Amino acid sequence: MSLKYIKFAALILVFFSCHQTTTNKEANYQRISIDNSLEPNPAIKEFLQPYKKSLDAAMAEILCYSENAHTKTEGALNTALGNLMADAVFEMTVPFLKKRYNESLDLVLLNHGGIRAALPKGPIKTETAFRIMPFENQVVVVQMKGSAILEMIDYLKIARRAHPISGMTLHITKKGILKKLLIQGKPLSLDNVYNVATSDYLLNGGDRMDFFKKNNAVYYIDYKIRNILVDYFKAKDTLNPKRDMRFIYTK
């Protein structure tokens, strides 16, 4: 047999040995909703029970008391709850920033949408902090030039939302004309640099706050906003936040 026919026979053998027959099969499936209608697995439930008890106890711990209930919709440009959050971030961030970077803090800007629940009247528990801030957002401190701060002000004038601020006074008309701007009680200087505490979400352009990307430096302090609230609540006996004059409409 010639080499030509041997190659041809080998090719035919390989072709038929690799050829597979396909058939259509009907697939049956059942949609299962993952909700309270499902019966828990007894073994898994028993295994998790000690952890659940510990977690429930931690979440139920009373940290302080609030004189009144507050929501994030109680004011046009600043709210008692938003002011509390911004002030808490300011107060709790200062010592970490000083110790780790030997830097001081000038102001805080958070986002109104990041507040996810109301502050109830009465006992404030760990669970309260988790409800108000359920996300894993961390505080970062962004060093910005005065010109970048002006972009922040332009954003706030256009947005006209009660984005929580601390350390800054901002008065605008309803037409968006700037009437008053103070940082730590002093007029903005374009030649200065300012340290602004915010969240890592906003640093990365969340809520279209792209001005944070125009920074000189970013200081990371590894402190979640939720944990800041927990520690802040623990440090206070009674909460009584107020709306004030930090961000308002004026004539």
Q: What is the 3-state secondary structure (H, E, C) of 127-138?
A: HHHHHHCCCCCE
Mean pLDDT of 232-246: 97
**Long-range residue pairs from 48-52, CB within 8 A, at least 24 positions apart, any chain:** none
| pLDDT value, residue 15 | 53
193 pLDDT tier (thresholds 50, 70, 90): very high
Query: How far is Cα 89 from Cα 225, in angstroms, rounded to an integer?
Result: 7
C-alpha distances in Å from residue 81, one per residue of 12, 70, 112, 146, 156: 79, 6, 10, 28, 18
Domain extent listing, the chain: 58-249
List b or e across 13-24, with b for residues whose CB sees 16 or more CB atoms inside 10 angstroms. eeeeeeeeeeee
- Residue 130 backbone phi and psi in degrees, to 5: -70, -35
| Token pair recorded at residue 102 | 């030997």
23 compared with 103, residue with greater pLDDT:
103
Mean pLDDT of 230-248: 97
Mean pLDDT of 168-186: 96
pLDDT at 19 over 60: no
Query: How far is Cα 210 from Cα 22, in angstroms, rounded to an integer?
Result: 54
pLDDT at 6 over 90: no
Mean pLDDT of 34-59: 79
- Helix-, strand-, coil-residue percentages of the chain, each rounded to 5: 40, 25, 35
| pLDDT value, residue 179 | 97
Q: Could you give the percent of the chain with pLDDT greater than 90?
A: 77
**Torsion angle of C-alpha atoms 181, 185, 188, 191, degrees rounded to 10:** 180
Task: Return the CATH fold of 58-249.
Answer: 5'-nucleotidase;  domain 2 (3.90.780)
Cβ count within 10 A of residue 227: 15
